[in-house]
Structure 1
Amino acid sequence: MYNLTDNQKKVAKWLVKNVKDENLNEEFRIQWAIIPTEGVYQFLILNYKGTEQELKDIGITKGSLNALATNKLLLYQTNRATHNSTSEDAYRLLIPETWYCTLTGNIYTAVDNDFNTPDTSFINYLNPLANPSDFDEALTKRCFPILATGGSDPKLWDSAVRTAGVILEERLRDVGNISDPNQTGQSLVSKVFGKNGTLESKFSVPSEQSGYRDLYAGIVGAFRNPSAHRLVDPSPDEGGAFIVFVNLLLKKLEDLR
C-alpha cells in the first residue's frame, strides 16, 4: 500500500491532472527559495502554465515530494545556487534551490486507482521455487544441487524431473508400507490407494480415495514413466512446475502417514 497522507495524495493528483491538462510537463523544475527574515519557503514551478493561485492553493512542500519519491511516484535531483555577495541586501534576497522532477508511470496508476494498490502477494505462491525453504527435504537435497549448475539447461531439468519421480515413488512405498521394491508405477499406486489398498483406512469417503488413486496414477503415467524411459528435456518452466507439483504430492502423502 502507498504510505501517503491525504495532502500528499492531493499533490499527486494535482500533478497528474496538470500534466493531462498540458499545464505541466512530466519533467519539470521546481524552484525553492527561503526568505531568511521570515524563515519560510516559497516555490515556483518553472514553465507552469496554470495560475499563481493554483500553485498557492496546492501548497507543494519538499516533504510531500519526498513522500511521492519514496513511494516511487516521482524522481528528483537537487541543485542549489550559490551567491558571491556577502552584503546584507544579498542575504535578504531569495536563495534559490532547484529540484529537477520526473513523474513515473506509477503515479498515473496510483491516481487512476485512487491509491488502492492490489494485493500481489499471491505471486509468491505461484512461484514457490523462488523461496524453496518449505520444500520437501528430499527434493531439496537431491534435485536442487542438479539445477544449481545451470538452471536454464533442459538436460539438467530432465535429470531433476527424473529424480523427483523416483522420490515420489519411494515416498509412496514408505508411507504406503509397501516393502516390495519391485512395485512401481501405477501398480504401486493401486497397492496404496486402490480398493483394499494399504491406506484405505485413511479415507472415510470412497470418492476421495479413488481421487487420490487417479491423481497419483495420472502423475506416474503421464510424467514419471516417460522420464524414466527416455530423455524428455523439459523446459525450465515445465520442469519447475512438475517439481512444485511433486512437492505438493509429497506433502499430501505425509498428511496421510
Structure 2
Amino acid sequence: MRLHADLHPALSEARLNFERGSYQTAVFEATRQVEIRVRDLSHLGPETYGVQLMHTAFSPSNGPLATGEVPAEKQAIASLFAGTIGAFKNASGHRVVHFDDPSEAADIIHLADLLLRIAERAAGEDH
C-alpha cells in the first residue's frame, strides 16, 4: 500500500499500472495526466506541450494558472510543474527509464496528484 486510497481520479490508470508492477508506465501515465489537465485548464492548444506548456500556463506575468502571492512564489510553482514534466514525463517518453523502486514511483505519482490539485485550485475547479 504505497499509494494512498484517495488519489485524483485522473490517476486511475497510473494506479493500475503501479499495482501491476509496471512502475515506469505508471510514472509516465501520472505525469501525462498532469500535462493533459494543465492543457485543459489553461485552454492552451496542442501546439504547446511539455515543459513549455508548464512555463506558459503558470507564467508569473500572464499565465492562466499562475498561482501564488508574490512573483517568486509564482515562478517557483511554474518551475515545480516544468521540472516534474521534464524530469519524469519527458525522460520516460524519450528513452527507457527504469523505475525499479516502488517507493520512488509511488512518490512521483503522489507528486502528480498534488500537481493536479494545485492546477485545479488555480483554475478555480475541484475534481
Q: TM-score range by the shorter chain?
A: 0.7 to 0.9
Letter in 1 for 2:47: N
1:61-109 CA distances to partner (integer Å, 9 max, x unpaired)? xxxxxxxxxxxxxxxxxxxxxxxxxxxxxxxxxxxxxxxxxxxxxxxxx
- Aligned pair in 2 of structure 1 residues 128, 252: CA closer, same or farther (>3 Å)? farther
| 1-structure distance, mates of 2:114, 2:94 | 24
Partner of 2:7: 135
2:16 counterpart (145, 166, 181):
145
| 2-structure distance, mates of 1:222, 1:169 | 13
| 2-structure distance, mates of 1:148, 1:205 | 40
| 2-structure distance, mates of 1:225, 1:231 | 11
Partner of 2:23: 157
| 2-structure distance, mates of 1:204, 1:245 | 22
User: How far apart are residue 128 of structure 1 and its match?
Assistant: 6.1
Structure 1: gaps of 5 or more residues: 1-126
- Aligned pair in 2 of structure 1 residues 215, 147: CA closer, same or farther (>3 Å)? closer
Letter in 2 for 1:226: A
1:205-255 CA distances to partner (integer Å, 9 max, x unpaired)? 212211111111111122121011111120212111111111111111111
Asked whether 1:241 is paired with 2:107, we answer: yes
| 2-structure distance, mates of 1:253, 1:197 | 12
TM-score (norm 2): 0.84
| 1-structure distance, mates of 2:80, 2:19 | 30
Asked whether 1:217 is paired with 2:74, we answer: no
2:42–2:57 CA contact under 8 A, matched in 1: yes
Identity %: 33
TM-score (norm 1): 0.44
| 2-structure distance, mates of 1:216, 1:208 | 13
1:255 counterpart (113, 121, 125):
121
| 1-structure distance, mates of 2:97, 2:31 | 13
Partner of 2:65: 199
1:128–1:244 CA contact under 8 A, matched in 2: no
Partner of 1:21: none
Secondary structure at 1:143's aligned position in 2? helix
Partner of 2:55: 190
2:65–2:119 CA contact under 8 A, matched in 1: no
Instruction: Count residues in correspondence.
Output: 121
2:2–2:106 CA contact under 8 A, matched in 1: no
Name the structure where strand makes up a greater proportion of residues.
Answer: 1
1:135-180 CA distances to partner (integer Å, 9 max, x unpaired)? 10010x211222333x3xxxx11111111111010011112221x1
Asked whether 1:227 is paired with 2:99, we answer: no
Secondary structure at 2:38's aligned position in 1? helix
User: How far apart are residue 203 of structure 1 and its match?
Assistant: 4.2
